[in-house]
């Protein structure tokens, strides 16, 4: 396996580079297209005036907010809010994918139109990313979820906005089960998440997967005599030449050519005294890594366990493109702390908001779809419903909708789901404010009234 050489040890002539014209965000490659605006023009977007839909009177302590309307002028309004600008610890967005499609809910209601493409789509996304950068805290992170249509173009845009040095990962997610109907291509079972931070100093809690017995036994193959501790052996050196202490001899040995010791000789002596170094029969040292000191297997950039709804027992809202809550749990736990502010300006069915709330984060959600806001309110009030049973019984109930309500019909309208256990902690989410753009036309009045009635605790 080839290893890189630090650029300080590279003696060949350096390639000629163009003069940097944009500070730390300067690029060798920049995506250009018709209609691309200057950042100053984007940031001058007039903020929208907002009206409160729920609760009618402002309550103290309601930091969580749900907005109905075009997210660009709402983001402009948030950029003028000192409680939000520079305070958002984490942004996750799952924007339209430039599919040129109209998506419907499980009730076949139009949820949103994804009709932008090409340069129009890129500028639509870029304008919002510019505002999201302004809202992010200096130690904040942003995750942008896309598919193959525009992910590669979007990375160049994000390099420009957030700085290429702040790119952290291109995460590949397995989104569905293998497809059997592709005949002349490989099955498309993945989408992608671009992970950037605002600076080098960002909130990070490395996610790990728990060790299984078989995996631990395979990786930690050795047992230490006397203690019984399981361990594995790893090299004591790392790639790259060093001229300091880690490049000097230890116990009469130099590190292998082109490498250096991972620790100064004095630290290596301390490790050896504690029995943490294994000496092979021919005198080569290796470091012992103990299983009982490992929190788990560090998560890599291919995620296999967060498929979207894929069997009849999974509970969902039925909103199109709804994401797996466990996917959001991993992201929120990795890149924020309790009490931090999480923002999703394409909030859809409210998965980000629901998970953030239950992980004790504050949140802001925005969506311009009536169906999305209705779905989110229903989710907040009643939770999720099983995919298979709900669909079957809903169809049966709709066939009976003109008949006089009877007990069997009412049972059809109440989807079967596991009864909550005694003392269940599942409670409706009411600790938020709902706002809409000033020109709001009243299209959510019935949904808000229903939410207020169904989510109000009974005494």
Cross-strand bridge partners of residue 192: 146, 172
150-164, 285-299, 391-405, 422-436: range with lowest mean pLDDT: 391-405
CB 20 within 8 A of CB 414: no
Phi, psi of 67 (to 5 degrees): -115, 140
What local confidence, expressed as pLDDT, does residue 61 receive? 61
Contact between 131 and 46 (Cβ < 8 Å)? no
φ, ψ (nearest 5 deg) of residue 324: -65, 125
pLDDT at 395 over 70: no
Per-residue model confidence (pLDDT) at position 17: 52
CA nearest to 119, candidates 33, 37, 38: 33
Reported as a pLDDT band with limits 50, 70 and 90, residue 59 is confident
57 pLDDT tier (thresholds 50, 70, 90) = confident
The pLDDT assigned to 39 comes to: 97
Secondary structure, 3-state, the chain? CCCCCCHHHCCCCCCCCCCCCCHHHCCCCCCCCCCCCCHHHHHCCCCCCEEEEECCCCCCCCCCEEEECCHHHHHHHHHCCCCCCCCEEEEEECCCCCCCEEEECCCCCEEEEECCCHHHHHHHHHHHHHHHHHHEEEEEEEEEEECCCCHHHHHHHHHHHHCHHHEEEEEEEECCCCCCCCCCCCCCCEEEEEEEECCCCCCCCCCEECCCHHHHHHHCCEECCCCCCEEEEECCEEECCCCCHHHCCECCECCCCCEEECCCHHHHHHHHHCCCEEECCCCCEEEEEEHHHCCCEECCCEECCCCCCCCCCCEECCCCCCCCHHHHHHHHHHHCCCCCEEEECCCCCCHHHHHHHHCCCEEEEEECCHHHHHHHHHHHHHCCEEHHHHHHHHHHHHHCCCCCCCHHHHHHCCCCCCCCCCCCCCCCCCCCEEEEECCCCCCCHHHHHHHHHHHCCCC
Strands 136-146 and 88-93: parallel
Least-confidence region, from 10-19, 136-145, 222-231, 414-423: 414-423
Q: How would residue 45 be classed by pLDDT, with cut points 50, 70 and 90?
A: very high
Calculate mean pLDDT across residues 179-204. Answer: 90
Could you report the per-residue pLDDT of 218-268, keeping only the tens digit for each? 999 999 999 999 999 999 999 999 999 999 999 999 999 999 999 999 999
Residue environment code for 182-191, b if the CB has 16+ CB neighbours within 10 A, otherwise e = eeeeeeeebb
Region of residue 160 (left: phi > 0; alpha: psi -120 to 50; beta: else):
alpha
Dump pLDDT digits (tens) for 94-118: 998 544 455 444 555 545 454 456 8
pLDDT band at 30 (very low <50, low <70, confident <90, very high): confident
Please check whether residue 259 is in contact with residue 274, taking contact to mean a CB–CB distance below 8 angstroms. no
pLDDT band at 273 (very low <50, low <70, confident <90, very high): very high
CB neighbours of residue 303 within 10 Å = 20
**Residues of the chain with pLDDT > 70: what percent?**
78
Q: Which of 87, 89, 86, 91 is nearest to 337 (CA)?
A: 89
Output the pLDDT for position 104: 45
User: What pLDDT does 400 receive?
Assistant: 38
Q: Give the residue among 164, 106, 198 at the shortest CA–CA distance from 384.
A: 106
The average confidence (pLDDT) of the chain is 84
CB atoms within 10 A of CB 145: 23
Distance (Å) of CA 51 to CA 56, 190, 376: 10, 40, 19
> Does the pLDDT value for residue 417 go beyond 90?
no
CA gap 138, 314 in Å, rounded? 38
Query: Is there a cis peptide before residue 245, judged by omega within 30 degrees of 0?
Result: no
- Residue 403 scores a pLDDT above 90: no
Are the CB atoms for 287 and 271 separated by under 8 Å? yes
CA of 134: how far to CAs of 40, 85, 359, in Å?
Answer: 12, 6, 25
Residue 408 pLDDT more than 50? no
Q: Count of alpha carbons within 13 Å of 119, Cβ hemisphere only?
A: 7
Query: How many alpha carbons lie under 13 Å from residue 84 in its C-beta half-sphere?
Result: 23
Lowest mean pLDDT among 55-64, 103-112, 175-184: 103-112
- Order of strands, edge to edge, in the sheet holding 65-68? 50-54, 433-437, 65-68, 362-367, 341-344, 88-93, 136-146, 190-197, 167-174, 302-303
Q: Tell me, what's the pLDDT at 313?
A: 67
Measure the CA–CA gap between 114 and 321, rounded to whole angstroms.
11
User: Shortest CA distance to 172 belongs to which of 275, 301, 354?
Assistant: 301
Can you give the pLDDT at residue 348? 94
* pLDDT tens digits along 286-313: 999 999 999 999 999 999 999 987 566 6
CA dist list (Å): 111 to 194, 348, 370 = 25, 9, 7
Residue 398 has pLDDT above 50, yes or no: no
On the question of pLDDT at 274 being above 70, the answer is yes
């Amino acid at each position: 396996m080839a290893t890189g050489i630090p650029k300080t040890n590279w003696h060949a002539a350096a390639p000629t580079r163009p003069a940097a014209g944009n500070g730390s965000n300067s690029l060798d490659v920049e995506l250009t297209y018709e209609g691309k605006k200057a950042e100053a023009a984007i940031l001058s977007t007039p903020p929208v005036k907002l009206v409160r839909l729920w609760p009618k009177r402002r309550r103290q302590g309601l930091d969580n907010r749900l907005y109905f309307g075009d997210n660009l002028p709402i983001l402009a309004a948030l950029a003028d809010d000192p409680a939000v600008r520079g305070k958002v610890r984490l942004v996750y967005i799952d924007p339209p994918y430039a599919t040129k499609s109209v998506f419907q809910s499980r009730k076949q209601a139009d949820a949103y139109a994804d009709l932008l493409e090409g340069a129009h789509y890129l500028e639509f996304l870029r304008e919002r990313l510019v505002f999201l950068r302004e809202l992010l805290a200096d130690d904040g992170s942003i995750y942008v979820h896309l598919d193959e249509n525009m992910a590669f173009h979007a990375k160049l845009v994000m390099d420009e906005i957030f700085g290429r040095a702040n790119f952290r990962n291109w995460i590949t997610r397995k989104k569905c089960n293998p497809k059997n109907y592709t005949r002349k291509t490989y099955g498309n079972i993945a989408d992608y998440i671009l992970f950037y931070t605002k600076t080098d100093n960002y909130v990070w809690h490395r996610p790990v997967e728990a060790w299984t017995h078989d995996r631990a036994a395979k990786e930690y193959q050795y047992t230490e005599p006397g203690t019984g501790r399981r361990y594995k052996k790893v090299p004591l050196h790392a790639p790259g030449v060093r001229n300091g202490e880690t490049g000097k001899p230890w116990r009469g040995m130099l590190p292998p050519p082109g490498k250096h010791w991972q620790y100064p000789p004095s630290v290596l002596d301390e490790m050896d005294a504690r029995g943490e170094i294994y000496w092979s029969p021919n005198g080569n040292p290796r470091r012992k890594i103990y299983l009982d000191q490992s929190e788990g297997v560090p998560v890599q950039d291919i995620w296999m366990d967060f498929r979207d709804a894929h069997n009849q027992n999974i509970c969902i809202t039925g909103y199109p493109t709804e994401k797996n809550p466990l996917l959001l749990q991993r992201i929120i736990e990795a890149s924020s702390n309790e009490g931090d502010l999480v923002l999703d300006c394409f909030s859809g069915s409210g998965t980000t908001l629901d998970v953030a709330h239950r992980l004790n984060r504050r949140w802001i959600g925005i969506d311009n779809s009536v169906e999305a806001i209705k779905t989110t309110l229903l989710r907040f009030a009643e939770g999720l419903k099983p995919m298979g049973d709900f669909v079957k019984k809903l169809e049966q109930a709709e066939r009976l909708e003109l008949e006089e309500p009877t007990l069997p019909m009412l049972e059809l309208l109440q989807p079967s789901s596991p009864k909550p256990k005694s003392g269940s902690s599942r409670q409706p989410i009411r600790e938020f404010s709902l706002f809409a753009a000033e020109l709001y036309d009243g299209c959510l009045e019935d949904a808000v009234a229903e939410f207020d009635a169904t989510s109000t605790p009974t005494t």
